A and B are shown apart, each in its own frame.
With several copies, the nearest count.
Chain A
Amino acid sequence: MEITTTEYKNCDVIHPIGRVDSAGAPQLEAAINAVTQLGRHKIVLDMSEVTFVSSAGWWVLIGAQKNCKKHRGEVVLACIETGIRASLKLVGMDDYFRIYDEMTAAVGNI
């Protein structure tokens, strides 16, 4: 999995490409930790090129959300593919994240 992180004034955008499965989840976790360790806790996850998320991936995002909220920050999700979003909704975990269809809205509202 390829992951790009872009630091803006208001937030950081993390943009993973590919599958967030048990192989990719630790990489995503490392990318998120790299941001939060700088004391930055507003993170927009650009999911536009994520094709799959397994429970291993959701646990990473849930953990990150808990940590960021503790630090007055937040993880918001943007541009999630329908299948991925449906599976998140199925387990009721879509309530844990603000989800935006556009990056501009995600970055503007975090």
Chain B
Amino acid sequence: MTSAVFPGRYTSLESISEFVIQAAQHAGLDDAAVYAVQLAVDEAATNIIEHGYGGEDLGEIGCQCEIVAEGLRIRLEDHAPPFDPQAVAQPVLNVPLEDVRPRGLGLFFIHKMMDEVQFDFSPEGNTLTMLKRR
């Protein structure tokens, strides 16, 4: 298991990506799966900064990568206020260009890219656990 803590700002996204890409490669994921992991983690970390902390440099993001029998398990941790993922509306897709509204693709990507996605909220912090199968 590898873990690291990153400052909650957008320039951390590249370092976070590098960190998870390396773990994903070590876990033996193929190129498409590595890209999927990178995308899910980038979207999740962006949400923590943008929606969780409500801006840059207001908190940290912990990241743990664990190679498991099925593939790669990734855990993102933050100390922002909790939110209700169930309450988030699905993005409106497959509509004419003029009707596209720029919102709501992040969670959609996370769910599409990963095989298991679980949000946990507790007084000690929030955890997003994601599994990508090999």
> Do A and B touch each other in the complex, judged by CB within 8 A?
yes
Residues of chain A having any CB pair with chain B under 8 Å? 19, 21-23, 52, 54-56, 58-59, 62-63, 65-66, 69, 82-84, 86-87, 90-93, 95-96
Is the Cβ of B46 less than 8 Å from the Cβ of A22? yes
Is the Cβ of B17 less than 8 Å from the Cβ of A66? no
Please tell me which one of the listed residues B13, B91, B108 contacts residue A19 in the complex, with CB atoms under 8 A apart: B13
Is the Cβ of B102 less than 8 Å from the Cβ of A87? no
Output the least CB separation between A94 and chain B (Å): 11
Contacts of A63 in B (CB 8 A): 102
Since A62-B100, A63-B102 are in contact, a sample of 19 more A-B pairs with Cβ atoms closer than 8 Å, ordered by chain A residue number, is A21-B14, A21-B46, A23-B13, A23-B14, A52-B39, A54-B109, A55-B46, A55-B105, A66-B98, A82-B31, A83-B31, A83-B35, A83-B36, A87-B36, A87-B109, A87-B113, A90-B112, A91-B91, A96-B100
Per DSSP, are chain B's interface residues mostly helix, strand or loop, or mixed? Answer: helix
Is the Cβ of A59 less than 8 Å from the Cβ of B102? yes
Closest to B98 in A: A66
Residues of chain B having any CB pair with chain A under 8 Å? 10-11, 13-14, 17, 31-32, 34-36, 38-39, 42-43, 46, 49-50, 91, 93-94, 97-98, 100, 102, 105-106, 108-109, 112-113
Contacts of A52 in B (CB 8 A): 17, 35, 38-39, 42
Output the least CB separation between B106 and chain A (Å): 5
Contacts of A21 in B (CB 8 A): 10, 13-14, 17, 42, 46
Contacts of A87 in B (CB 8 A): 35-36, 39, 109, 113
Is the Cβ of A66 less than 8 Å from the Cβ of B35? no
Question: Please, how many angstroms separate the alpha-carbon atoms of A52 and B45 in the complex?
Answer: 15
Closest to A62 in B: B100
Question: Please, how many angstroms separate the alpha-carbon atoms of A72 and B113 in the complex?
Answer: 35
For the complex of A and B, the 6 pairs showing the least CB-CB separation, nearest first, are A83-B35, A55-B105, A23-B10, A59-B102, A22-B10, A92-B94
Question: Please, how many angstroms separate the alpha-carbon atoms of A34 and B10 in the complex?
Answer: 23
Closest to A97 in B: B97
Is the Cβ of A22 less than 8 Å from the Cβ of B49? yes
Please tell me which one of the listed residues A19, A69, A84, A91 contacts residue B105 in the complex, with CB atoms under 8 A apart: A91
Contacts of B43 in A (CB 8 A): 54-55
Question: Please, how many angstroms separate the alpha-carbon atoms of A52 and B108 in the complex?
Answer: 17
Is the Cβ of B35 less than 8 Å from the Cβ of A84? yes
